[in-house]
Amino acid sequence: MGRSRWRNRRWAALASLGLLVPVSACTIEVPLGPGATPAASSSTASTPAPTPAPTGAAPELPPLTRAQISGEDMTFARGGYIAEGESVAFSDGMTRSDGWTQRTMMVNGESVYENGAGCRASLRYTGLQTPLVADGDDRASTEALFQFLDPSIVPGYLTTTTWLWGESPGEASAGIEFLTYVQPATGSAPASAVSLRLFHRLRTGMAFTVSCPSDDQLAAAVTDVRSRVSVVPPRS
pLDDT per residue as tens digits for the range 64-87: 888 889 999 999 999 999 999 898
DSSP line for 64-118: --HHHHHHS-B-GGGGGGS-TT---EEEE-GGG-TTEEEEEEEETTEEEEEETTS
Alpha-carbon distances of 160 from 14, 120, 139, rounded to whole Å: 24, 22, 10
- Bridge partners of 113? 102, 121
Residue 7 has pLDDT above 70, yes or no: no
More confident residue, 75 or 56: 75
Inter-residue contact 149 to 10 (CB < 8 Å): yes
120 occurs within a structural domain = yes
pLDDT digits (tens, 9 = 90+) for 171-204: 999 999 999 999 999 988 999 999 999 999 999 9
The rounded percent of the chain whose pLDDT value lies above 90 is 64
Overall average pLDDT of the 134-148 stretch: 96
Q: What pLDDT shows up at residue 58?
A: 57
Q: Can you give the residue range of the structural domain that contains 150?
A: 23-35+67-232
219 occurs within a structural domain = yes
Whole-angstrom Cα distance, residue 161 to residue 181? 10
17 occurs within a structural domain = no
As for how many domains the chain has, the answer is: 1
167 occurs within a structural domain = yes
Residue 61 has pLDDT above 60, yes or no: yes
Q: What is the pTM of this model?
A: 0.79
For residue 211, the domain's CATH number is: 3.40.1000
175 occurs within a structural domain = yes
27 occurs within a structural domain = yes
Whole-angstrom Cα distance, residue 12 to residue 28? 13
188 occurs within a structural domain = yes
